[in-house]
Amino acid sequence: MKKLKTHTLIGGVLIGTLLILAVVAAVWTPYSPLGIDLRSKLQAPSMAHWLGTDEFGRDVASRAMQGASTSCLIALLTVALATAMGLVVGVVAGFMRGWTDRVLMAFNDTLLAFPGLLLALGVMVIVGANQWGIVLALSLAYAPSVVRVVRGTVLSLREREYVEASRMIGNSEIYTMWRHILPNCVAPIAVLATSMFGWVLLSESALSFLGLGVPPPAPTWGNMLASARPYMASAVWLCLVPGLCIALTLLGINLLGESLRDRLDPRTERA
């Protein structure tokens, strides 16, 4: 019990700080994240620039804040879209079974067979490298694994007697799906979604790093990291700041996910 509380606390503080920074960045940053000042380029952290400046003299702290809001928005939208797609396809496939299931799963497994990042790259080429392109590409890359989890859960749930009981009551299949199957999928999906948030954040950084993410000069943690590469030896803060941001966010998400899993487990519920 004690352990669970510290988990939740640390995770909550990390993610809370991140969200606050992301929201604040929308209205205020110490400097303009895009403001170039070539006279003060590559400055080490100081009182004026807390986290130093980059090769164009832009304030790293402001860019990291702005990056937090871009990265988190992309990750949130992606998780929501992937979960929604995965839920619909997974529930339908698991509940209908038969040919519907086979066709959907064949398609899904084909998608699953591609490495996620490769799939995302392919989609990006078609829809273009911008914020919405990233969201769509990453959702398509992550939805298949949600489909798998949802379908597995539904397959086991539909054999439960309360599903049969619902049929006996005279409820339609759609109603049974909506009332008895979907709510019972929530726990595994919620846990999957939190960890997915972390993966999406990483993938977005990777895409940006490869030059296919949000186009510069708009900052994301990924493209900050990418552009910091040449200065790794001379200006270490340039890669440390976005790197630490990603690492701490992942840590927070994982801790929160763990406590969420414990919370949603019916055996510990209201214990």
Partner 1 sequence: MNTSLNQAVLSVEHLKIELRHGTQPLVHDLSFEVKPGEFLAVVGESGSGKTMAARAILQLLPPGITQTGGRILFDGENLSTRDVKAMRPIRGPGIGMVFQEPMVSLNPVHRIGEQMAEGLRMHTKLSAAEIRARILDMLRRVQIADPERCMHAYPHEFSGGMRQRIMLASVMLLKPRLLIADEPTTALDTLSQREVLDLMVGLARDNGTAVLLITHNLGLVGRYAQRAIVLEKGQLVETGNVPAILVEPKQVYTRKLVDALPRRQPAKAETAAQQQPLVQVRGLCVSYAGARAGFFRRHPPVRVIDTLDLDIHPGEMVALVGGSGSGKTTLGRAILRLAPSQSGQILFRGEDVRTADRAALHRFRLACQLVFQDPFSSLDPRMCVHDIVAEPLRHLPSLDAAARLRRVQETLDEVGLDGLGARYPHELSGGQRQRVAIARALVRRPAFVVADEPVSALDMTIQAQVLRLFQSLQAHHGFACLFISHDLAAVDQIADRVIVMERGRIVEQGTRDVVFDTPQHAYTRALLEATPRPLAVSAAYA
Question: Where does this chain bind partner 1 (CB under 8 A)?
Answer: 160-162, 164-171, 180, 183-184, 266-267, 269-270
Q: How far is the CB of 146 from partner 1 (least distance, A)?
A: 20
Q: How far is the CB of 269 from partner 1 (least distance, A)?
A: 7
- The structure tokens listed for 38 are 């070539």
Residue 101's nearest CA partner among 91, 110, 112 is 91
Which of 34/190 has CB closer to partner 1? 190
Q: How far is the CB of 46 from partner 1 (least distance, A)?
A: 55
Which of 1/47 has CB closer to partner 1? 1
Q: How far is the CB of 172 from partner 1 (least distance, A)?
A: 9
Residue 215's nearest CA partner among 129, 135, 127, 125 is 129
What is the torsion angle, in degrees rounded to the nearest 10, for the CA atoms of residue 65, residue 70, residue 75 and residue 76? 90
Which of 179/229 has CB closer to partner 1? 179
3-state secondary structure of 26: helix
159-164-167 Cα angle (round to 5):
140
Which of 71/166 has CB closer to partner 1? 166
Q: How far is the CB of 186 from partner 1 (least distance, A)?
A: 8
Alpha carbon distance 95, 93 (integer Å):
6
The identity of residue 93, as a single letter, is A
Which of 136/181 has CB closer to partner 1? 181
Q: What Cα–Cα distance (Å) separates residue 167 from each residue in 21, 95, 152, 172, 176?
A: 49, 13, 21, 7, 7
